Amino acid sequence: MKKIIVMCLLFLSIIIFSKEHVPPVYDKYMRSGDDLEILFESPNDGMSSKMILYFSGNLFVYFRQDLFNNISEKLTTVEIYEQFMKEESLIDYFLDHYVPAIYEDKDIYFLYGKVSLGRELLTLRLYYIDEKTNDLKVKIFREMNRDKINAVEKIVEKINEEKYPVPKIKLTTVPKEIITIITRKIKYFGSDRGISGNYKELYEKVIEIFSDKLPSVIHYIRKPDFELIN
């Protein structure tokens, strides 16, 4: 009987500890390599771009870093999401992930790409580190073809027309591609493992438009038969 009581008290203490120390949107005891999909409504009519999309890739299975590190647990769920999805926080996250690659006949560490949709053009910025000099480099490409821009705008409009009653979050397995989408209505953080619907359509369209501008390693990672290296 004493053993049962002790076990019950131990179980209760674990529950109380978990509630006090683990943010409600993040389980720090997830298996290594598990990742999150986050989607929530975040109206921002003052946003200068109609859409911003970040993307990066993985070659190796990695130990997932704490997405919400240094974010106060006293914040509400959406406030935690908002803190993480701030530009400086996202950049810190993407700078922590790199892929060795060859780009323009140079050995580089590819960090991430950033695509922004303006009124008259679609802009791609590629961020990488030159392996020889260890300098951070940025390559900029601009797409002004009206048909291509219209295609992207239509997908963004469909995203903004969706209904978002509550924030959504789910767990996924180790991703090959990490993707963030921000519009004037929503914020999404996820990966190739969970992205779907209009979000997947938008990502695929952007990759298609800038296909010949991307490091070849991105196309390699995106092959259906590619598996992450342990």
| 89 pLDDT higher than 70 | yes
Name the CA radius of gyration of the chain, rounded: 20
Chain CA centroid to CA 45, Å: 22
| 9 pLDDT higher than 80 | no
Measured between alpha carbons, how far is 72 from 49 in angstroms, rounded to an integer?
29
Q: 23 pLDDT band (50/70/90 cuts)?
A: very low
pLDDT at position 183, please?
96
Cα–Cα distances (Å) from 141 to 46, 124, 181, 209, in that order, read 25, 5, 19, 11
Q: 45 pLDDT band (50/70/90 cuts)?
A: confident
Question: Mapping DSSP to helix (H, G, I), strand (E, B) and coil, where does residue 147 land?
Answer: helix
85-88 own/partner pairs: CB under 8 Å, 24+ apart: 85/38, 85/42, 85/180, 85/182, 85/187, 85/189
Q: 186 pLDDT band (50/70/90 cuts)?
A: very high
CB 53 within 8 A of CB 115: yes
Lowest average pLDDT, out of 74-88, 185-199, 211-225, goes to 74-88
CB 131 within 8 A of CB 106: yes
pLDDT at position 169, please?
64
Supply angle C-alpha 186, 173, 194, rounded to 5: 35
Question: Bridge-partner residues for 56, per DSSP?
Answer: 178
Q: 73 pLDDT band (50/70/90 cuts)?
A: low
Measured between alpha carbons, how far is 133 from 128 in angstroms, rounded to an integer?
12
Residue range 181-205: mean pLDDT, rounded: 92
Measured between alpha carbons, how far is 162 from 61 in angstroms, rounded to an integer?
34
Amino acid at 190: G
More confident residue, 84 or 3: 84
The mean predicted confidence, pLDDT, of the chain is 79
Residue range 66-83: mean pLDDT, rounded: 71
CB 104 within 8 A of CB 87: no
| 17 pLDDT higher than 50 | no
Q: 4 pLDDT band (50/70/90 cuts)?
A: very low
pLDDT tens digits for 51-69? 999 999 888 766 555 566 6
pLDDT at position 78, please?
79
- Reference 106, options 87, 126, 85, 122; nearest CA is 126
Measured between alpha carbons, how far is 65 from 227 in angstroms, rounded to an integer?
21
Give, rounded to a whole angstrom, the gap between the first and last alpha carbons of the chain: 47
Measured between alpha carbons, how far is 226 from 191 in angstroms, rounded to an integer?
15
pLDDT tens digits for 130-153? 999 999 999 999 999 999 999 999
Chain CA centroid to CA 94, Å: 8
Measured between alpha carbons, how far is 103 from 110 in angstroms, rounded to an integer?
9
